[in-house]
Amino acid sequence: MAGEIFDPPTEYLAKPKVNIVTMFRLGLFQMGLSMMSILTLGVLNRVMIQEIAIPATLVSLVLALPAFVAPTRIWFGQISDVKPFLGYHRTAYVWVGAGIFAIAAFLAIQVIWLLNAASGDTWVWTTQTMGLTALLGLVFAIYGLAICLSGTTFAALLVDISEEDNRSQVVGIVWSMLMVGIIVGAIVSSSLLKQLDGDATLETLQNAVNRLFMVVPGIVFGLSIIATFGVEKKYSRFSQRSTPGNREDSIGLGKAWSILTASPQTGLFFTFLLVMTISLFMQDPILEPYAGQVFNMPLSESTQLNVFYGTGILIAYGITGFFIVPRLGKKRTIRLGCFLVAFSALLLGFSGFSANPNVLKVGLVIFGLSTGFLTTAAVSLMLDLTVAEAAGTFIGAWGLAQSISRGIAIFIGGTVLDIGRNLLPNNLVLAYGLVFALEALGMIISLSFLSKINVQEFQTNTKQALASVLESDLD
């Protein structure tokens, strides 16, 4: 009888630890997600803004929609916790989401061709263009929901299969593969678009881009299956961890919110993340059009710019956590990262005056390095500003700040470009330069919030709030 009550479940003991090979296999899913991001923020933005001449504000709003549906991540996560699908809590949701976003990406480009045919040589709002724009927005919203579904359940799977002592290894390997995906996606996209390096007709452009949007989503869907097949059944500890007594959701949403808002430090860090992330990604929708219109790069070459950016980030990821953060500390490394991002953003803007693609490429490597320094240190600080008993609530809040701010950044980038082109119709370099200058300014502003963040104060306030919640449960 004693053995039945106090001995750990044999099923739990039987679960093996996830090995390095499986970690890299899981990383194939993240690699696939970043390949999809190359299609939307490395190909579609250039096609819509330059090749088809859709207003940059409209393009950036449509491209931002997947980020604006990010609050559904919380709902998708809860559903996967309580409702197994096809016998799995995570895997089947990952596959369904991957299938939907692969199809949605192909449908999006088809709607864009219809929009181009309806608008003609000069963009004019008509009933047809408004209807097709609404349809394109709907397709991108569905794409974003599918990314949220598969991405959230995949992240939950990583938690399920890992222990405290190997979770950092799992996260480190899987997120490094995200950067590998940016490089691979850029190279694959560039090779499939190589035929457009001359004077391409609209028909040639359509054929090449359609092929790209069939091949890459197909590869990504295959990678999502290869990455997760059999992993949940073999490694997941979810069923042993999800008893009502030790599940985080037993705290309840209202009480979790009171813990989340117990310290002013939470709001300060949320605001810092918001301003920092907006400033970090403002160039996303305009970089490839910048390369095309200012540096006269063909579509295949402008898509390949992500290789230089991704390489810089990978190098920074490799050295920041091991060498820079331990020596400088998290806040000092973040401060250094903010200054470096501001400097490299200005460098990207000034590179336009040279009209030399090599200067732009060097600037992107430096921008990638700066981004890697900043994000590695910011994630480390984020984990300090999280309490284990309500980890999901805090990580959800930080993730929501990042997703929403990335969507805002994409919208601001396109809008500022349109404003710049209207104010400075004869100087494209300065019009694009406004976006890079605003990025640099935002980075400096974010430092004012960083200086007020106090980890010790956060932990004291939050633990007191948590103790109060647990005491009320006992009462």
Average pLDDT over residues 302-325: 83
- For residue 446, pLDDT over 80 is answered with yes
Strand partners, 85: 88
pLDDT digits (tens, 9 = 90+) for 61-120: 888 888 888 778 777 777 777 788 888 888 999 999 999 999 999 999 999 999 888 877
What's residue 388's pLDDT? 53
**pLDDT for 162 beyond 90:** no
CATH fold match for the domains 19-242 and 245-464: yes
Place 420 in a pLDDT band, splitting at 50, 70 and 90. very high
Q: Which residue, 361, 343, 341, 344, is CA-closest to 295?
A: 361
Each residue's pLDDT tens digit, 42-64: 788 888 887 777 888 888 888 88
Question: What pLDDT score does 248 carry?
Answer: 45
Taking 70 as the threshold, does the pLDDT of residue 383 lie above it?
no
The DSSP code for 84 is -
pLDDT tens, residue by residue, 90-99: 899 999 999 9
- CATH fold for the domain made of 19-242: Growth Hormone; Chain: A; (1.20.1250)
Instruction: Report pLDDT for 352.
Output: 93
85: left (phi over 0), alpha (psi -120 to 50) or beta: beta
Q: Which residue in 208, 219, 147 sits closest to 185, CA to CA?
A: 219
Assess contact for 256 and 430: CB atoms under 8 A: no
Q: How far apart are the C-alpha atoms of 424 and 432, rounded to whole Å?
A: 10
Look up residue 475 and give its DSSP letter. -
Q: How far apart are CA 338 and CA 456, in angstroms?
A: 23
Homologous superfamily (CATH) for 245-464: MFS general substrate transporter like domains (1.20.1250.20)
Ramachandran quadrant class, 55 (left: phi over 0; alpha: psi -120 to 50; beta: rest): beta
pLDDT band at 11; cut points 50, 70, 90: very low
pLDDT of residue 278: 93
Does the pLDDT value for residue 221 go beyond 90? yes
* Helical H segments across 282-390, by residue range: 287-294, 299-303, 305-319, 325-328, 330-354, 357-384
CA distance 340 to 327: 18
* Residue 255 confidence (pLDDT) above 80: no
In Å, what is the CA distance from 433 to each residue of 345, 424, 427? 9, 11, 10
| Domain edges within the chain | 19-242, 245-464
- Which pLDDT band holds residue 345 (cuts at 50, 70, 90)? very high
pLDDT at 246: 44
Total-model pTM: 0.76
In the predicted structure, residue 24 carries a pLDDT above the cut 70: yes
Query: Torsion over CA of 210, 211, 216 and 218, rounded to 10 degrees?
Result: 100
Phi, psi of 122 (to 5 degrees): -120, 135
Q: Write out the two tokens for 303.
A: 């898509």
